Amino acid sequence: MTLGELTLSPAAAAPWCADPYADAVRVGRGPLFLRRADGWLLPLDVERWCGHADRADLSVLDRCEGEVVDLGCGPGRLVAALAARGRPALGVDVSPAAVARTRRTGGAALCRSVFSPLPGEGRWGTALLVDGNIGIGGDPRALLARAAAVVAPDGLLLVEAAPADVDERVHVRVDDGRGRVGAAFPWARAGTSALRRHAEAAGWRATDQWEAEGREFMALRR
């Protein structure tokens, strides 16, 4: 079945809000996928997102400087882990279910798009874009430019790249693999080479790159 063959109600909810993603976040488990128009499925690791920070996550958190904003915080494990360390941190996410779970686990979170006005713009020490969040909005360069406006002039951006050498912009839907799908929205994936190109075009320079638990990360400064 392709994306064009999926039937949605005219009142389909906004992506990530009242669709299969919200239900998965509430219960803390999948299955859950992003479905591309050609039927290709990208598994979403809901159980990891709803768990505790793992060793790969800690390799990111250990590099954080100053106050931290997690752009697209999801269920909030990173924000909660930072709070447990005593580091000021705020999660930002469009999903009410994700924001609610972040708050329940001890993190501070705001239900808002990363492209909307945010508290402390231009003053954050570190911004995070992990768990595939370089895909937010379907335009990595626009997202990286937005992140540049959020952090301080000497601030740090820590980004997770796709594990494959990919650079794509697509429209996808959240799919639970059991017949429920959400509304279509733009998404992107960028491997390390593409991420470096997009970052340089948006005025960032890479200062570090590392792999942890099979995940690829990059540290950027303006």
In whole angstroms, what is the distance from residue 142 CA to residue 123 CA? Answer: 19
| Mean pLDDT of all residues in 107-130 | 97
| Mean pLDDT of all residues in 73-88 | 98
Q: Between 3.40.50.150, 3.30.450.20, 3.20.20.70, 3.40.50.300, what CATH number should domain 13-221 receive?
A: 3.40.50.150
In whole angstroms, what is the distance from residue 114 CA to residue 93 CA? Answer: 7
CA distances from 191 to 74, 132, 171, 194, 219 (A): 21, 10, 18, 5, 14
The per-residue pLDDT for range 154-194, each reduced to its tens digit, is 999 999 999 999 999 999 999 999 999 999 999 999 999 99
Structural domain boundaries of the chain?
A: 13-221
Environment class of 69 (CB within 10 Å of its CB; exposed 0-12, middle 13-18, buried 19+): buried
**Do 91 and 110 contact (CB within 8 A), yes or no?**
yes
- 209 sits in which H/E element: strand 205-212
- Identify the band that residue 128 occupies on the pLDDT scale cut at 50, 70 and 90: very high
The per-residue pLDDT for range 26-68, each reduced to its tens digit, is 999 999 999 999 999 999 999 999 999 999 999 999 999 999 9
- Identify the band that residue 18 occupies on the pLDDT scale cut at 50, 70 and 90: low
Beta-carbon contacts of residue 27 (< 8 Å; ≥ 6 apart)? none
**Do 100 and 125 contact (CB within 8 A), yes or no?**
no
Average pLDDT, the chain: 92
Residue 8 has pLDDT above 60, yes or no: no
Token output for 37: 């128009």
Q: Return the percentage of the chain with pLDDT > 70, whole number.
A: 93
Residue 6 has pLDDT above 70, yes or no: no
Give the angle subtended at the CA of 96 by the CAs of 167 and 110, to the nearest 5°.
80
- Identify the band that residue 15 occupies on the pLDDT scale cut at 50, 70 and 90: confident
